[in-house]
Amino acid sequence: MSEVQIAPERGTGRTPGSAAAPRVLIVEDESALSMLLAYNLEAEGFVVDRAERGDEAETRLAETVPDLVILDWMLPGVSGLEICRRMRAREATRTLPVIMLTARGEESERVRGLSIGADDYVVKPFSVPELMARVRALLRRARPDRVATILVAGDLELDRQNWRVRRAGREVHLGPTEFRLLDHLMERPGRVFSRAQLLDSVWGLSAEIDERTVDVHVGRLRKALSEPGERDPIRTVRGAGYSFDETFGKG
């Protein structure tokens, strides 16, 4: 059993991640991009549905209302803009969070998309880690009960909302990349990620960096997390990659 726990929200006694995993509908006709987004969302613990046509998306939305929709602007069948307009006209989907994806970067087009009812707007090409952060941020605002904000393992605590890490009560100072790396590993204790997988999930596929960069950042993360005599929570699996040690915090 995983030793990483989701801490109850302060003052509520409720565990943010105690409900079923958030469900995301991806409506995107570029299969490669749709699969990439689905892979990253599922790695974050989301349940993912996909549709490649606007009319197919409408059918999915009529059957099951997800927690969030990632919606491409240009779609066969029915445009993403029209789908968003129809969603805002229906009671069941009126407040459903929508992130619009588009190659249209002009200010007038962004204003148009937001005025139709999109909650956020991402221009292609984009950073996958940035999109994941936007998904979490939007869900935290719209459905705070559906997204964990604090991860705890033993004496280690990661606060996503405030971007803070503590160990044994002391503040651990991490750079943005080390923070995302710890978040990614800590959320899935015991799972081994190859360097290529970590590059995809933490840096994004568009990052033109060598896999050895992962080793450098893991080294920095280890140095920041552990003082002399403390146990290293990051496990190296020779020939495979890295994982957050699922036995960390036991006993």
Do 129 and 54 share a structural domain?
Answer: yes
Give the domain extent around 230. 150-244
- Tens of pLDDT, residues 145-181: 556 678 888 899 998 878 899 999 999 999 988 998 9
The neighbour count for residue 34, using CB atoms within 10 Å, is 19
CA within 13 Å, CB half, 57: 33
**Long-range contacts of residues 109-112, Cβ cutoff 8 Å, at least 24 apart:** 112/81
- Tens of pLDDT, residues 174-225: 998 899 899 889 878 888 989 988 887 787 654 567 888 999 999 999 999 9
Instruction: Please report the pLDDT score of residue 69 as a whole number.
Output: 96
Domain count, the chain: 2
Picking from 115, 142, 169, the residue at the C-terminal end of a domain is 142
Residue 7 lies in a domain: no
Residue 4 lies in a domain: no
- Tens of pLDDT, residues 83-127: 999 999 998 898 899 999 988 666 666 666 677 788 888 888 888
Residue 133 lies in a domain: yes
